Amino acid sequence: MDEARPLVYLVYGLPKSGRRKIIFDLIEGGISLAEKVLYFQPEDTAACSFDEQIVTLKNVEVLPWKLEENKITHGKISAAAEKIIFLAPDASDPADCAEALKSWAEHNQCQVARLITVVHCSFLIKQPKALAWFEACIHFSDIVLLSRREGVENKWIKDFEDTYKRACNPARFLLVKKDRVTNPPEVLDPQARRRSLYFDELIPLEEDEFDDAEKPDDTKPDIYIHRLESGQRAKPIPDIKKLLNEIT
């Protein structure tokens, strides 16, 4: 990884999952005050008490942003930064966010460091139909933070983690306690651990070198990013917005 390029992070998740408290914790506990941080907050996100606390951090500049047609739009950046953190719009399509992030990072000569999924565990138990949405987020993520575990049995947590371990998903699964992570620098470590190879440089191959079924994973299009001739995603991600009324 090119340390001279700004490192970019994206945090997936749902409303009331504690994401902004976690972001505050990551910046305060994992980033030096000498490093400038750009924090991009979605324009349509409801206000949160930790918005003000993030603003008070001396090394942070907060900018609103929007996801429009798989592109990131935002206002003018006043100064260069070493670390850049995007809070994904609430319940947005994970593939759209990933596609927009890659394009933005390449255009701005930045390095995608890590994608992070904050899992609202109690919501997922109430709404198991939301699992497909979380699976897509986790597909792109290096770190999975298990949050809002009030009333959630340890067995459910273990079974959830074991499902991804059996699938050989390399992401780190970490518990969130009181909206804090145990080791912020570990979460921000830019070493890639995601299953998706979408942000990696793919190996060029001759068209007839392999049959389609035999092509290595690092030469195939990402299963969530790939589009059909119609323009639709080959593996569409369910819209989770209809389920959000269950969040407390």
Residue 78 pLDDT exceeds 70 = yes
> How would residue 50 be classed by pLDDT, with cut points 50, 70 and 90?
confident
Domains of the chain: 7-201+232-246 (3.40.50)
Of 83-87, 94-98, 111-115, 228-232, give the lowest mean pLDDT range.
228-232
Cα–Cα distance between 220 and 240 in angstroms, integer?
27
Q: SS3 for 165?
A: helix
Q: Tell me how far the alpha carbon of residue 150 is from its chain's centroid.
A: 23
Q: Look at residues 215, 244, 233 and name the one whose alpha carbon lies nearest to residue 98.
A: 233
Mean pLDDT computed over every residue of the chain: 91
pTM, rounded to two decimals: 0.91
Give the mean pLDDT of 2-6: 76
CA–CA distances in Å: residue 61 to residues 51, 75, 102, 182? 12, 12, 21, 25
